[in-house]
A and B are shown apart, each in its own frame.
Chain A
Amino acid sequence: MNKIFALAGVVIKELYRRKDFYVLFVLTALLTLAAGAVNFFHDDKIVRYVKDICLLLIWVSALVISVVTTARQIPAEREARTIFPLLAKPVSRWHVIVGKFLGCWLATGVALVVFYFFFAAITGSKEQIWPWGAYLEAVWMHWVMLAIVIAMVLLGSIYFAAPSSTSTITIIVVGGVLLLGTHLNTIALQQPQPMQSILATVYFLMPHLEWYDLRDFVVYDMGLVPVRAVALATLYGAVWTAIFLLLAWFGFRRKSLNT
């Protein structure tokens, strides 16, 4: 585990030494503060739209941070050739995959905590309430979803040399799943064969990332999601993460790396 944590540590250092996170945080903060400063009908108790906008920005920022950070990990190691001194140590390619995953996931987790604290501060200052339980569930589920996304991006980065290709494809896939995940079965039923069967198969085989979006529960103060459901969703997320990491390793373990 030491090797994996050492690798993860480098990824985390890289994230906080780059400007991406700071730029996105400042952008999110500025847009949220600007939205919060607008006065609608001289009513200063209106808050849900601020929560909604802030959470949307957090979701977009977290997705961008996780995808962009992860997509460049292995291609950058290969391009900058840092992979060679690394693999010349007693480090297996599985260690590299898991270490990179863990680093990106932990780094994204740190970013999420910062973002959600900002969210809690802004909305709490307006509402004077802090439903920590709901926030905790929302952050946790968001983080679990990002684990799947990060593993997916790592898999993509093994096959696509350019980080931009991996990032674009993943963002489209994740966006598609978040928007259509729930409805794909309904859409399938409206299609002729063989499209119906194809879409139904995709519906059952794809990772249902939309489950992890608890923004509505936070925005509308709808209380907590049952803990059992959160636990099962976490397990489901862990299984998908493991699947993507294994596929990434299958691709990476036999890859020739010529100096």
Chain B
Amino acid sequence: MNFSPLSLLVVLLALAFTLATNLMPTAGNWSQRAKSDNLFGMVFGDGRKLFANHFFTMADVYFHSGYYPSVFDQKSGEEKEIISASHGRKETEEDEKNEDFLGRPKDWIDAFGRNFRITRHTHLENHNEREILPWLRLAADLDPNKIETYTVGAFFLREHLGRADQAEAFLREGLRNNPDSAEILFELGRVYHESNHNLDRARNVWQLGVKKFLLRAPDQQKEDKLLFEELVANLGRLEDEAGNYPAAINWLRAAQKVSPAPDALQRQIDDIQKKAGAQVPATPAKLY
């Protein structure tokens, strides 16, 4: 056997080509990464979810202008912030106290080092909230199934930046990726209700949200009962606004069953009952 270098090269190339054509049909199954339809999926594989979480946290860091606990400062049960903000809840004084994660300086190095760290707890305001958006966009691209990314992004776009159109588009994208998400449907309903004042579309979306919610496993429903409360309570207020008082009361009574503050809902029901008079049925109708 006496091969010239050129003939050897030709043989090797032919072998590589033959192997490629034979292996190609099966190679696709070796990795999920190769099947991914977006660039991030291709590059990072499942690791992209880690990056998505990181970028989601970055949005929170930006919201606090860098005043944010590191993994070494964090105490358990301290993740929330944007998520609570997305539900429109103002931070309480207790929350503020919890945010003092730095505590007293441990030593002179720590004390002096604080000159070079952000040590003031602030929130973005005056439309500077826009600064968190790139991280949410990246988080959504990296993990399209992370629901909070869409709801938080939409909340800030709509509530703080007055960009209901962008909020709706972002939520629609989220809904395409997560068609069963009651959370996204809830936030979408708020866009229609609070920003577009389109009661019909808001009603449809929220009702679809309730349906999707009720398809969840009982344990999951129990865990997410506050979402259910928000959905049905908002539907109640919407129907009140539309003059459909029996339906409004029906939704509010459903909310009462899971609400941590049933008395407040009762007061709303009483008010509607006064307005509605005889229209209100004595027993609540079934939701679906």
Direct contact between the two chains A and B in their complex (CB within 8 A): yes
Contact B135–A49 (Cβ < 8 Å): yes
Please indicate the chain A residues that have their CB under 8 angstroms from the CB of B131 in the complex. Answer: 46-49
Given contacts A46-B131, A185-B107, contact A41 B116 (CB under 8 A): no
Closest B residue to A211 by beta carbon equals: B116
Please indicate the chain A residues that have their CB under 8 angstroms from the CB of B72 in the complex. Answer: 183, 186-187
Let me know if B65 is at the binding interface, CB within 8 A.
yes
CB-CB contacts below 8 Å: B107-138 with A? 107, 109-110, 112-113, 115-118, 120, 127, 130-131, 133-135, 137
Please indicate the chain B residues that have their CB under 8 angstroms from the CB of A214 in the complex. Answer: 116
Let me know if B170 is at the binding interface, CB within 8 A.
yes
C-alpha gap A216/B134 in the complex (Å): 17
**Size of interface on B: residues with Cβ below 8 Å to A:** 29
Contact B113–A208 (Cβ < 8 Å): yes
Given contacts A46-B131, A47-B131, contact A220 B113 (CB under 8 A): no
C-alpha gap A42/B165 in the complex (Å): 11
Contact A208–B109 (Cβ < 8 Å): yes
Let me know if A87 is at the binding interface, CB within 8 A.
no
Given contacts A216-B66, A220-B65, contact A41 B170 (CB under 8 A): yes
Q: Which of A24-32, A146-154, A155-163, A224-232 faces chain B?
A: A224-232
B133's partner among A40, A183, A211, A216 (CB-CB below 8 A) is: A40
Name 30 interchain pairs, CB-CB below 8 A, sorted by A.
A38-B134, A40-B133, A40-B137, A41-B170, A42-B166, A45-B127, A46-B130, A46-B133, A46-B134, A47-B131, A48-B62, A49-B134, A49-B135, A141-B116, A182-B113, A182-B117, A185-B107, A185-B109, A187-B72, A204-B107, A204-B109, A211-B112, A214-B116, A216-B65, A216-B66, A219-B66, A220-B65, A220-B66, A222-B66, A226-B115
CB-CB contacts below 8 Å: B146-182 with A? 157, 161, 163, 166, 170
Please indicate the chain A residues that have their CB under 8 angstroms from the CB of B112 in the complex. Answer: 211, 229, 232-233
Least Cβ–Cβ distance between B272 and chain A, in angstroms: 38
A residues whose Cβ falls under 8 Å from a Cβ of B: 38, 40-43, 45-49, 141, 182-183, 185-187, 203-204, 208, 210-214, 216-217, 219-220, 222, 225-226, 229, 232-233
Contact B134–A203 (Cβ < 8 Å): no
C-alpha gap A121/B135 in the complex (Å): 23
Contact B166–A216 (Cβ < 8 Å): no
Least Cβ–Cβ distance between A254 and chain B, in angstroms: 34
C-alpha gap A45/B117 in the complex (Å): 26
Closest B residue to A185 by beta carbon equals: B106
C-alpha gap A160/B66 in the complex (Å): 39
Least Cβ–Cβ distance between B56 and chain A, in angstroms: 14
A225's partner among B65, B107, B115, B130 (CB-CB below 8 A) is: B115
Please indicate the chain B residues that have their CB under 8 angstroms from the CB of A203 in the complex. Answer: 109
Let me know if B26 is at the binding interface, CB within 8 A.
no
C-alpha gap A48/B131 in the complex (Å): 6
Let me know if B70 is at the binding interface, CB within 8 A.
yes
Nearest first, the 5 closest Cβ-Cβ pairs linking A and B are A229-B115, A220-B65, A216-B66, A183-B72, A49-B134
Apart from A41-B157, A183-B72, A217-B116, what are 8 other A-B pairs with CB-CB below 8 Å? A40-B134, A41-B166, A42-B166, A45-B130, A46-B130, A182-B70, A185-B106, A225-B116
C-alpha gap A219/B130 in the complex (Å): 14
CB-CB contacts below 8 Å: B76-129 with A? 106-107, 109-110, 112-113, 115-118, 120, 127
Given contacts A49-B131, A222-B65, contact A213 B166 (CB under 8 A): no
CB-CB contacts below 8 Å: B175-209 with A? none
Least Cβ–Cβ distance between B64 and chain A, in angstroms: 9
C-alpha gap A15/B251 in the complex (Å): 73
Given contacts A185-B110, A211-B112, contact A220 B133 (CB under 8 A): no
Contact B118–A216 (Cβ < 8 Å): yes
Given contacts A40-B134, A46-B131, A49-B134, contact A233 B116 (CB under 8 A): yes
Please indicate the chain B residues that have their CB under 8 angstroms from the CB of A212 in the complex. Answer: 116
Please indicate the chain A residues that have their CB under 8 angstroms from the CB of B66 in the complex. Answer: 216, 219-220, 222
Please indicate the chain B residues that have their CB under 8 angstroms from the CB of A229 in the complex. Answer: 112, 115-116
Please indicate the chain A residues that have their CB under 8 angstroms from the CB of B127 in the complex. Answer: 45
Please indicate the chain B residues that have their CB under 8 angstroms from the CB of A213 in the complex. Answer: 116
